[in-house]
Structures are given as C-alpha cells and as structure tokens.
C-alpha cells in the first residue's frame, strides 16, 4: 500500500550533491533529476547546467518521518496549523508527518481525515498522513469509523486516541481485531486513567519534595502489559506511543521475544530530560507522559540502541503561550519538538557512540514508514528512488532560539540549550523546502544553496 506524497509543482530543477556521506558512510555524489535520484557514485560528471551543492562533511539521510505529530488543525489553529506545523517539520528535516486525531472536530470520520490530507497537499512542505481516532470523539465508548477512514482517499492505517488511553480492554480488543482486516495498527497512549487522576509529574522523590501529585510508572506499564497480551491473542499489530519508563522497555522486550507484533516509540525529550527539570515549576517541562528519572532515560536510550524501541517520534505538541505561561497545575501538557528532534538524537545517541547514522535513518525514517505501511517515504538512497532527502551537517553547535522556529507555538523545553547539527538542505520529491535552515518560499525555490 502506497501513500502518495504531497503533489509538487512546478518540476524541481536538477541538483548535484557533491561529497556527502550517505548514512554517514563512504563519500558519494548524488544527482537528483526529474524528482528522482538519478545517480549515486564518486566523481559524478555534471550533466550540464545543474546546480552543485557542496556536501563535504555532511550526512545524507532519507527524509525524516514523524509518526506522532499534533498539527492542531482543525480547531486548534491558535496553537498550530497544517501550514505552520509542516514548515516546522521541513526545518527539522522531515519529509512526512503523521497527524494525530485529537483535533476539533476529532478525526474520527472519513470527512475529517480527508480535510487534513487536503490541507497537507495545499501546504506541500511535507507529506501529511492523517491518523484516525480509535473511538468516536476520543470518548473511549464505541469504535470510530475505522473502515471508512481506511478506505478513504487518506487511506488511514494508523489509529490512535492519543492524549487519551483506550482503557476499556474489550474495546481495545475489538479495535485490534478490526484493524487487522486491513493491516492497520493501533497506536496506544498507555496511561491508566484511574492511576493518574490529578497527576502532575512523575511519581518519585522529586514529586514528593515539590508537593505535586505523582504519576506512577505502573500507570504506563500496566496498560502496555495488557495490550501486548491482547495483541498476541488477536494476532494484530500494536504500537506503543511515547514509551517513557525502564519497566515499559522490559515489557516490550519480553513481548518481542514472545513474537508479539508490537512496536514502540520514544520521544526526543524522554531521551534527554528528567523529572529534575520540574524543580523550577516551569511548565515548559510539563508533558504527558511526564519526564522520568535518570535511570529511565538511560533505559530508553539502551532500548532504542538495541532495537527494543523501534523509532523516535516527536510528539510535537504546540500550545499558545497563555496555556503554558501559568502555574504548573493549570498549565497544559506538551512540548514542541519537530525542529530540534534530530539534534537531540545526535547529541544523545550518535555523539555518545550508542548509534550510527545508519541507525538514525532506521529509527527516524525507515521504520516509521514501515509501521505506517507507507512505502513512499523512508526509501534507500539509491538510483531510481524519489528524492526525499536531508543533508545534515553534524559539526555546528547552536543555541535554540524559538523566535526563529516556524511553529506557531514556542513551548520548547530546549530554548536556550546548545545543540549540535544544522539542516543544510531538505528535499521533498527533489524540491528544496529548506536551505541553510531557512524555509524556501515557492518563488525562490531554485536559489543557490550555501556550502556545508
């Protein structure tokens, strides 16, 4: 099953990327013509009148794919729109995002998911694939129109009530059985609602010292344990959203050893930040699931490195300033993440030696596409493939300035943090969407690119 990328017009000009390192390996030249990678090799000849882009010292990756993005449209345009969210995605090196269903109205019908699809096609900064709700209105009471969303133009294959847990085990079983008929997947927000009533942050020493209601690890782990058993029983696919605890890693590892068809994701912020950040009561660090302990951070890093955790997904959750600029207990949960994701993965996993750049391609491009059954993205860097590409320079270091971000919201916990790496070029079906970290507007898309 192929999900078509957003239509691009006019035809992009040919490009020759010189001396980059695909997947961080051997230096190669890559020629891009007519929307495709037309040649890969050393010392490729310039066929004439082709713009050359210097890639010396840069890593060439397949365009990144985010399986967990909140674009907020329809209904939440004060925080984000498909236009602003996909511009942010392009700046982060993404050529495809999967938009979560907790919009207003909820994406629980074919009409709403097709509306999101059309907005993505109109924006054309990256491919936008709607995620359908599991239950009507995310209420957890009855199944949404799964089949109609799957057979619609949007061809939905990922379903999630993210933001809320499908906590009823009978309903979860039925959802798993239903999506199995068209090779869909349920992406579960693992949070037992009874164990997290009024919860504000991770339950532990820091929450006790701060006097904030704790969010126990078992609230996540118990749902994952239940659901992997249900998936095994039904023989269906399960995806665990934003896994955050050491215990969750062990449960997923155990399930995979049993042959359960389960995949899992970790967010960039759970790879780096801990519950210690809450000590300043800055609601930028308030997120669902909450930031955990250093031991949990180390466990999810190890799980990502050894393949227990399959992918990195941003859980990009924009909020207007007044939803965050308030007391901790009344502030919204969530962080932006599209524009800093790869820098954090580089810092926590590549620069530490835990993963290679080829591993990065796997967890941020290839495997997300496979989970979503989207064979238009995450493709190998080879002749004949669509040129969805990212040219990434791992050498610069910069301080995060949210005023420069393309997202409509600025609730990044990394504001002011020094992070590695810079986006030199993002190509969507061979069309530059970003050059030197800046969005390429339509009329200037053929302008000269800077050097690495």
To the question of whether residue 288 is assigned a binding role by annotation, the answer is: yes
CA distance 70 to 101: 8
To the question of whether residue 102 is assigned a binding role by annotation, the answer is: yes
To the question of whether residue 70 is assigned a binding role by annotation, the answer is: yes
To the question of whether residue 72 is assigned a binding role by annotation, the answer is: yes
To the question of whether residue 319 is assigned a binding role by annotation, the answer is: yes
φ/ψ of residue 31, rounded to 5: -100, 130
To the question of whether residue 239 is assigned a binding role by annotation, the answer is: no
CA distance 162 to 100: 7
To the question of whether residue 189 is assigned a binding role by annotation, the answer is: yes
To the question of whether residue 71 is assigned a binding role by annotation, the answer is: yes
Residues annotated as part of the active site: 315
To the question of whether residue 229 is assigned a binding role by annotation, the answer is: no
Whether the Cβ atoms of residue 384 and residue 83 lie closer than 8 Å to each other: no
Q: Which residues contact 269 (CB under 8 A, 6 or more apart)?
A: 287, 291, 315, 335, 337, 344, 413
Q: Which residues are annotated as a binding site for substrate?
A: 70-72, 102, 288, 319, 333-334
Q: Which residues are annotated as a binding site for Zn(2+)?
A: 68, 70, 162, 189, 242, 315
């Amino acid at each position: 099953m192929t999900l078509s990328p957003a239509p691009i017009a006019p035809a992009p000009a040919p490009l020759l990327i010189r001396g980059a390192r695909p997947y961080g390996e051997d230096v190669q030249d890559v020629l891009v013509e007519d929307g495709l990678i037309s040649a890969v090799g050393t010392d490729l000849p310039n066929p004439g009148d082709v713009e050359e882009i210097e890639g010396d010292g840069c890593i060439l990756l397949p365009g990144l794919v985010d399986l967990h993005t909140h674009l907020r449209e329809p209904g939440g345009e004060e925080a984000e729109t498909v236009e602003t969210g996909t511009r942010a995605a392009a700046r982060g090196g993404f050529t495809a995002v999967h938009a979560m269903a907790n919009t207003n109205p909820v994406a629980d019908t074919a009409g709403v998911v097709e509306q999101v699809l059309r907005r993505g096609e109109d924006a054309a900064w990256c491919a936008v694939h709607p995620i359908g709700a599991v239950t009507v209105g995310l209420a957890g009471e009855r199944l949404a129109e799964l089949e109609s969303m799957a057979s619609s133009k949007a061809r939905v294959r990922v379903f999630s009530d993210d933001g809320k847990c499908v906590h009823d085990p009978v309903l979860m079983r039925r959802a798993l059985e239903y999506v199995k008929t068209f090779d869909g997947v349920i992406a579960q927000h693992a949070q037992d609602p009874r164990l997290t009533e009024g919860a504000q942050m991770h339950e532990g020493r820091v929450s006790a010292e701060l006097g904030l209601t704790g969010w126990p690890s078992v609230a996540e782990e118990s749902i994952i344990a239940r659901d992997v058993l249900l998936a095994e029983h039904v023989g269906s696919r399960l995806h665990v959203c934003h896994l955050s605890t050491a215990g969750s890693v062990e449960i997923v590892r155990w399930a995979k050893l049993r042959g359960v068809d389960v995949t899992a994701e970790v967010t960039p912020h759970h790879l780096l930040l801990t519950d210690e950040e809450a000590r300043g009561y800055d609601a930028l660090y308030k997120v669902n699931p909450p930031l955990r302990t250093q031991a949990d951070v180390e466990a999810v890093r190890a799980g990502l490195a050894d393949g227990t955790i399959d992918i990195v997904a941003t859980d990009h959750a924009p909020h207007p300033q007044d939803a965050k600029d308030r007391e901790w207990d009344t502030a919204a949960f969530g962080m932006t993440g599209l524009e800093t994701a790869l820098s954090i993965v580089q810092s926590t996993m590549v620069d530490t030696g835990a993963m290679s750049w080829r591993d990065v391609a796997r967890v941020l491009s290839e495997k997300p596409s496979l989970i979503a059954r989207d064979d238009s993205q995450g493709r190998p860097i080879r002749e004949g493939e669509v040129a969805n590409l990212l040219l990434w320079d791992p050498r610069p270091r910069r301080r995060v300035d949210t005023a420069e971000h393309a997202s409509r919201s600025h609730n990044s916990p990394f504001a002011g943090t020094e992070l590695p790496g810079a986006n030199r070029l993002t190509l969507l079906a061979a069309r530059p969407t970003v050059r030197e970290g800046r969005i390429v507007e339509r009329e200037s898309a053929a302008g000269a690119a800077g050097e690495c």
